[in-house]
A and B are shown apart, each in its own frame.
Chain A
Amino acid sequence: MRVTNHMLVETAARALTALRSRMARAQEQVATGNAITRPSDGPARTVTALDLGSARRRVEQADAGAAEALNWLSVSEQQITRMIDMLQAAREAALVTGGPGARDPVSREGVAQTVEQARAAALHAANTRYRGVYLFAGFRTDTAPFAPDAAAYLGDEGVARQEVVPGQRLPVRLPGSRLLGGGNFFQALEGLAADIRSGAPVAGRLEELDRALEHLSSLRTEIGVRLQQVDEYADMNRKADIDLQDRLARATGTELERAVTELAEIENAYRAALGAAGRALPASLMDFLR
């Protein structure tokens, strides 16, 4: 095949252009650490990257939710424990009235006051506001669930839920009505104080308190179980996040050693092409004629 000057020039120019664009690409990969900077670099890998990125953000959100859940559940558990403690204290104080030192009105008044203080503390616990939210009011989080006479529950039956793992929402607060599942112990305590003052028998009231205590205990256990669940989910989230991070890096990242080696190879090829062009192009017959 005849080779003309133009062909030699074209060959050199095209080779250099092609090498330069390969060099630019290799440089970009090494500098950014990304093998995929636009969808056409790897269409399937791009979609995978989008998928994994979304999954990660979702897990992050669920993890934040799990932290919130732990918060609400812990505080609820604390307040229920408080109520249990108060009921126990009232019960013990009331037992005294069956004994020898409790016949006179003065000591009976003392016990009655202890019981009333326990009731107030328990009511305070039931009306706890945490971060601006009434814990035991259902969805009516801006109104106290129990009035001072605690005759009825003023909140609603809404159960607040929190997503703790993608796709799973768990209850994190109880409506106040559930506190009264073993009976309205506020009224029982009020009645107990009155009975103690009047000297009436208290056995019935103590039984009411027992039923309430049993119920509150089982509520506390329920919350305890849920706390454990959330802990496990939080752990799952952490593991999932690490796994997703790893997969994302593999889908879109460059292996640095390979990329650097490739860049060096291309640079060498470019230099060689320059040298070849330098030798082939200038020579012509003119140089050798007189």
Chain B
Amino acid sequence: MQISGTFGGLELARRGLQAGQRGLEVAGRNIAGAASPEYHRQRLVPAAAGSGLALVRERDLLLDGEYREAAAGLGLHGARRDALARVEEVFREPSDYGIQAALDRFWNTWQQLAGAAQDPTARAEVLVEAGELVRRIREAADGLAVRREALDRSIGLKVQEANDLAGQLADLNLRIATRASAGGEAADLEDRRDALLDRLARLAGVSVFHQPGGQVTVYLGGEPLVQGGVAASLTVPAAGAAPVWSGSGAPVRVGQGELGGELRARDQDLALVQGELDRLATELAARVNQVHAAGYGLDGLSGRPFFLVGAGGAQTLALAVSSPEAIAAAAGPGASGDGENAAALAGLRDLADIDSPLAPGQPLSVDQLYRTLIGRLGLDSRAARDAAEAADLHLQSADRQRQSVIGVSADEETLALVQHQKAVAAAARVTTALDEALEAVVNRMGLVGR
């Protein structure tokens, strides 16, 4: 840089003053942003073109990518963990208040009736325990239905949120482009955009590409969600369905993030549990009904079912028998002490001929089916919990790495403040010195003898 002419020195001093002041401004800005995790540290560097300083906003695209990947993982496993924890609560196991205990007592009352078919108390107890079993199964089924509806609502809200974020990102893209073309800097807008991208990554797991012009393109499930100033949108076509792209109607391939986690929890984990509970109810009813219909009640009638179950599965389970005399405890008509059919019903406890995807190739009894279901639920929930914990640690680590680059250290900025303050003072000193020197030149030169 060539300094020329009388006032060249003043020009230098002015630049020094300006630089110091800008430095103070940037340090001040950084300190103001220190508490905000979305703020990216800014600093002054020598400008590429000409003289002066340019403002640089710290970022690391690689670390951004790692952070977003970790966030998507935590979103996925965290959402699944929470959903499965809610499903576990429906069953209240292991305890005396769950379905297992009710099943045990149900079988026990048949065994008791087998030895006391003429005893009205024994008959009444069968109805009481059967009623309780039905109540607990229905309660569990209703609880699962409620969880499913809650997931439906949450998925709907998350789809809306994703659309909202996409819209904001497209808008920010435009505004950043406008600012850049007007020659200004857009650090605050870029901070905002990065924060939205972080949230979107956690929400749905997205891939982010920075275009040469400063724009950002966002892909979700391989399809563009945000391109320049244009945002695509998702929609849920019907209650309980999976999200699709609004334009094409094609399904959205979202396997990461909170949205991916809730979809998986609803459409795989919860669906399995609901399906197997339904299977339990229908198989229990079918087997009991078959044996019950072969027996005789105290009224001498035969061929009646004990349970009713509709197409709605476990939620529709009910007792078909309402009076103790109608319980078909006897194997033949006419003898009130005959409990042999009740004995056969009690024996169903050990009959293992139910096929279930939970135990392929291994027929199960009703009790075994229930236990296997609870065991599987426990395993899946535990796995999701562990995965969420690991994902959280991963995210912490990625966050630390990124913060190390983009974060503000108050101590650093304080030192910078001191430094720039001194620089300003020094520049002012230089200006004063030059001023005095110029004073001599301007006011005193050529005044010989005045």
A residues engaging B (CB < 8 A)? 1-7, 10, 14, 36, 38-44, 46-47, 49-51, 53-54, 57-58, 60-62, 64-65, 68-69, 131-133, 137-142, 156, 158, 160-163, 167, 169, 172, 252, 284-286, 289
Contact = CB atoms under 8 A, between A and B. Distances in A.
A46 to B, nearest CB: 5
A2 B404 contact: yes
A42 to B, nearest CB: 7
A40 B343 CA distance: 36
Nearest to B335: A139
Nearest to A47: B375
A156 B335 contact: yes
A36 B88 CA distance: 12
B85 interface: yes
B54 interface: no
B91 interface: yes
B381 A142 contact: no
Given A3-B404, A40-B377, A53-B94, 10 more contacts: A4-B403, A6-B403, A40-B379, A46-B94, A47-B372, A50-B371, A54-B104, A132-B118, A133-B118, A140-B334
Interface residues of B, number: 64
22 contacts: A1-B400, A4-B404, A4-B409, A5-B407, A6-B34, A10-B403, A39-B88, A39-B91, A39-B377, A40-B377, A40-B381, A42-B378, A47-B375, A51-B371, A57-B105, A58-B107, A58-B108, A139-B335, A156-B335, A161-B343, A162-B114, A163-B114
B414 A142 contact: no
A38 B384 CA distance: 14
Contacts, number: 176
Contact of B411 (A139, A167, A172, A285): A285
Given A1-B404, A158-B338, A252-B94, A47 B374 contact: yes
A140 B336 contact: yes
A43 B378 contact: yes
Contacts of A54: 100, 103-104, 367
A7 B403 contact: yes
Nearest to B401: A1
A5 B35 contact: yes
Which of B378, B379, B407, B411 has the most chain A CB atoms inside 10 A of its CB? B378
Contacts of B371: 47, 50-51
- Majority secondary structure, B binding face: helix
A44 B371 CA distance: 10
B78 interface: no
Interface string B371-398: 1101111110110010000000000100
Contacts of A158: 335, 337-338, 340
A34 B407 CA distance: 45
Contact of B337 (A40, A47, A138): A138
A161 to B, nearest CB: 7
A40 B133 CA distance: 24
Given A65-B111, A169-B343, A50 B374 contact: yes
A144 to B, nearest CB: 13
A65 B337 contact: no
Contact of A14 (B103, B396, B418): B396
Contacts of A14: 396
B46 interface: no
A64 B340 CA distance: 18
B314 interface: no
Which of A4, A68, A133, A162 has the most chain B CB atoms inside 10 A of its CB? A4
Interface in B323-382: 330, 334-340, 343, 346, 350, 367, 370-372, 374-379, 381-382
Given A4-B409, A51-B371, A57-B105, A40 B88 contact: yes
A285 B410 contact: yes
B415 interface: yes
A68 to B, nearest CB: 6
Nearest to A44: B375
B101 interface: yes
Given A4-B404, A133-B118, A36 B411 contact: no
B407 to A, nearest CB: 3
Interface in B108-146: 108, 111-112, 114-119
List 4 A-B pairs, minimum CB-CB distance, nearest first: A39-B378, A4-B407, A43-B378, A141-B337
A289 B34 contact: no
Contacts of A10: 396, 399-400, 403
Nearest to A4: B407
A10 to B, nearest CB: 7
A284 B35 CA distance: 14
Given A5-B34, A162-B115, A284-B414, A43 B379 contact: yes
B336 A141 contact: yes
A60 B109 CA distance: 12
A284 B410 CA distance: 7
B385 A40 contact: yes
B197 interface: no
Nearest to B374: A39
Contacts of A7: 400, 403-404, 407
Contacts of A44: 375
A217 to B, nearest CB: 26
A40 B382 contact: yes
B269 to A, nearest CB: 12
A139 B375 contact: no
B85 to A, nearest CB: 7
Given A46-B94, A158-B335, A161-B115, A6 B405 contact: no
Contacts of A138: 335, 337
Given A61-B112, A137-B337, A158-B338, A5 B409 contact: yes
Contacts of A162: 114-115
A39 B405 contact: no
Contacts of A163: 111, 114-115, 346
Given A5-B409, A57-B104, A139 B337 contact: yes
A152 B352 CA distance: 45
Contact of A61 (B84, B111, B339, B377): B111
